[in-house]
Chain A
Amino acid sequence: MTLKHHISDDTLLAYVNGTLAETLSVVVATHLAICPQCRKHMDLMLSVGSIYLDQSKPVELSSNELDLCDEIMLSPQEKPSTVHRQSLNTAADPIRSIPKPLSDLLPCDIDDIPWKKLVPGMSHYPLKGHANSDGKGALRLLKISPGMTLPEHSHSGQELTLILRGSYIDEVGRFAAGDISDLDDSLHHQPVADTDKDCICLIATDAPLKFKGFFSRMLQPLIGI
């Protein structure tokens, strides 16, 4: 099994340029850690950007700036990495071990998360302090029991979901561990956890979701996503 769903180019470009919301950037960085293909796409964008840098017409430096060169060389250099680079993750189980951009934000191991129940079959764990600077959007873990269907919803902004455990199916396809689902406001979707295991995902938004049905809308203040 290899990763099937990747970061879309527009999201990746916003991440590279630093214009992607902080919450969404955490999800992108976590997927990048386990996905050489998306890193290759990111490298292409950086190569494109470096052409713009190369073509910039040089301007004169101030005397302060010219002095920087010698000042900088007084500082010590970093030691090359001596870490033996063998990943705990494999192609068959790409996100068994949670990469740093996410694990640094978790209070404990992913298997010991103190879940908060939303409705039967669905619980969440908000990663506090990880809203965006404009106060909108959120970053949270969501756990869905097997067979459970999420309320049908669309988005007023962007939603990024990274599957950590289990899998789900929605209108777009089947998403398994390590896959990323990159949706914007054009789509209504209704994910269903489709194996006998809990589906655990990391979900980031940059604006509140819009739920379709009446009961789902009642649920919204409760879920807060």
Chain B
Amino acid sequence: MTSSDGRDLSSDPSHRSPDQLDLDLILVGDAADRDAFRRIFTAMAPKLKAFLINTGQSPQEAEEILQDTMLKVWRKATLFDRSKSAGSTWIYSIAKNARIDRIRKETKPAPDPDDPSFVQDAPETGEQSLNRRQDQKRIQLAMSTLPSEQMKIINMSFFEDKSHAEISEELNLPLGTVKSRIRLAFGKIRAELERNQ
């Protein structure tokens, strides 16, 4: 596999395009394509392991959560909907919940789209779903506009998996300040995304 500028991408899976990940997930979902799953595994498992260890899991826990996550990716690829989320976001969400379920030893309460009480999303226009797929770059751009005091808290939430109370203690800030900075940060990200549409 080569990119448009001729570089060999197959040797460095971390440089594969997000679209390739989406296509591989579709191949796994539609046709149980083993080569596609191997590509997903090779690209994502080493990152997932790094992410889990960074957020405080022991190597043993990281391996268990990695297994739970990749097993769910294989089993649930049939449910992956590219118009709803990017492949990397979909996998991240599975990993996140696998981690929470391991720690809590029970399943986190979550809405079920097959529940007859569930209110479905309004149908999206083609442009909206295209925007959604380009989200990662646009979100990164929007995040670059955040003041450092807000960015710090977002980093601690996502990269260190800290609770609001832990952040408040560590930064010696009132809990209300931590919460209001989170609200300001996401308000700003959404406003930037809308402005750049």
Contacts and interface: CB of A to CB of B under 8 A. Distances in A.
B158 A58 contact: no
Interface in B158-197: 158-159, 161-164, 175-176, 178-180, 182-183, 185-187, 189-190, 193
Given A45-B186, A85-B113, A54 B118 contact: no
B82 interface: no
Interface in B77-122: 77-79, 84-86, 88-89, 91-93, 95-97, 99-100, 103-104, 108-122
A133 to B, nearest CB: 8
B44 to A, nearest CB: 8
B86 A47 contact: yes
Contact of B114 (A22, A44, A81, A186): A81
Interface in B18-43: 29, 32, 34, 37-38, 41
A34 B21 CA distance: 30
A73 B139 contact: no
Interface string A30-60: 1011111001110111111111111011111
Nearest to A91: B119
Nearest to A83: B114
Interface string B122-158: 1000000000000110011001000000000010011
B86 A50 contact: yes
Interface in A96-121: 97-101, 103
18 contacts: A8-B179, A9-B187, A18-B97, A25-B108, A36-B121, A44-B190, A46-B92, A47-B86, A50-B136, A51-B140, A61-B45, A61-B46, A80-B78, A88-B116, A100-B117, A101-B109, A184-B175, A185-B176
Given A58-B49, A100-B118, 15 more contacts: A9-B183, A9-B185, A10-B164, A18-B100, A32-B110, A36-B122, A53-B47, A56-B51, A64-B63, A68-B70, A72-B70, A76-B75, A97-B117, A99-B117, A101-B109
